[in-house]
Amino acid sequence: MAQANTKPNNTQCLVAGGIAGIAVDTALFPLDTIKTRLQAKGGFMASGGFRGIYSGLSSAIIGSSPGAALFFLTYEQTKAACERRMEPKYQAFGHMAAASAGEVAACLVRVPTEVLKQRLQANHHRSLGAAIRGTYRAEGLLGFYRGYLTQVVREIPFTCIQFPVYEFLKHSYATKHGRGIKSWEAAVCGSVAGGAAAAFTTPLDVIKTRVMLSTKGVGAHHEYSGVVSTLARIAREEGARALFSGVVPRTIWISVGGFVFLGSYEKAKEILVDGRIFAHR
């Protein structure tokens, strides 16, 4: 079924985004673990290898639904505002602005769960409770937001590539076929856009991983802080090639993830809008 032309309301955006977030994080968590361990300072095997590849899943699920819901609510509202004020030839900039705003909002929820998830994936702690206690004892509440700026710096370039490409592919396909795009077709567009964005932004992802795995004054990662200093240190100590550690699983993960995430979102949104579920009366 093609997407309806009716715009979703705020509640429908939140629910559809939450469903998409849980779907993609649960389905692709093992690839995310492998990518994190490849990017860790100690290396893949020292960080756990293929053992316990679902470590940190509970933290990811806790943050995935509200994070994705907040992203899509902000994205849809900002995109609609930009479309009302911008000429069609400038819509790509509107999509960049909408995606950037969505990421800044979503990271308020996503970063604490990402910090805990990656520390569990890298075997820094044995359980979610231990990760929470260890992070709080070492760094206080701010420890849960370690890498927030780095995450935002990584996500904004990523979304500034992914979402304009995604919207362009959807529009081009719909125009070519003279009909609304179906949810599975939108999923394919999301896969292509996500894979391209993932490959280009891998160095930023490596930097984000190193900073988030850091614990103040503890272990091999304690000196990683800040985007520029971390970039310089990795390049100096390990060479530029290290900045593309995990590029293959990251690209595969996000290509498949783009299919699941955006396809799930579009399908959930379609069902909610067509069925008038959570529709304001």
Q: Which of 95, 44, 98 is nearest to 73 (CA)?
A: 98
Q: What is the pLDDT of residue 221?
A: 47
Total number of residues shown for the chain: 281
* The pLDDT of residue 3 is above 60: no
Q: What is the pLDDT of residue 59?
A: 72
The letter for the amino acid at 172 is S
Q: What is the pLDDT of residue 222?
A: 53
> Each residue of 190-233: pLDDT tens digit?
999 999 999 999 998 888 888 877 766 555 445 677 788 888 88
**Phi, psi values for residue 51, rounded to 5°:** -80, 140
* The pLDDT of residue 149 is above 90: no
The pLDDT of 238-245, averaged and rounded, is 90
The pLDDT of 247-257, averaged and rounded, is 89
User: In angstroms, how far is CA 84 from the centroid of its own chain?
Assistant: 27
What's the pLDDT band for 153 if we cut at 50, 70, 90?
confident
* Whole-angstrom distance, CA of residue 256 vs CA of residue 83: 29
> Each residue of 163-192: pLDDT tens digit?
999 999 999 999 999 988 999 999 999 999
Could you count the other beta carbons within 10 Å of the beta carbon of residue 218?
12
CA dihedral 213, 191, 20, 263 (to 10 degrees): 180
Burial (CB < 10 A; 0-12, 13-18, 19+), residue 198, is buried
Query: Contact at 8 Å (CB) between 3 and 266?
Result: yes
Between CA 35 and CA 266, with CA 209 as vertex, the angle to 5 degrees is 65
What's the pLDDT band for 4 if we cut at 50, 70, 90?
very low
> Each residue of 102-139: pLDDT tens digit?
999 999 988 998 888 888 877 788 888 898 999 899 88
Task: Give this prediction's pTM.
Answer: 0.74
Three-state SS string over the chain comes to CECCCCCCCHHHHHHHHHHHHHHHHHHHHHHHHHHHHHHCCCCCCCCCCCCCCCCCHHHHHHHHHHHHHHHHHHHHHHHHHHHHHCCHHHHHHHHHHHHHHHHHHHHHHHHHHHHHHHHHHCCCCCCHHHHHHHHHHHHCHHHHHCCHHHHHHHHHHHHHHHHHHHHHHHHHHHHHHCCCCEHHHHHHHHHHHHHHHHHHCHHHHHHHHHHHHCECCECCCCCCCCHHHHHHHHHHHHCHHHHHCCHHHHHHHHHHHHHHHHHHHHHHHHHHHHCCCCCCC
> Each residue of 259-272: pLDDT tens digit?
999 999 999 999 99
Of 46-60, 109-123, 250-264, the least confident: 46-60
The pLDDT of 136-143, averaged and rounded, is 89
What's the pLDDT band for 77 if we cut at 50, 70, 90?
very high
- Which one has a higher pLDDT value, 90 or 56? 90
> Each residue of 9-26: pLDDT tens digit?
999 999 999 999 899 888
* The pLDDT of residue 51 is above 80: yes
The letter for the amino acid at 137 is R
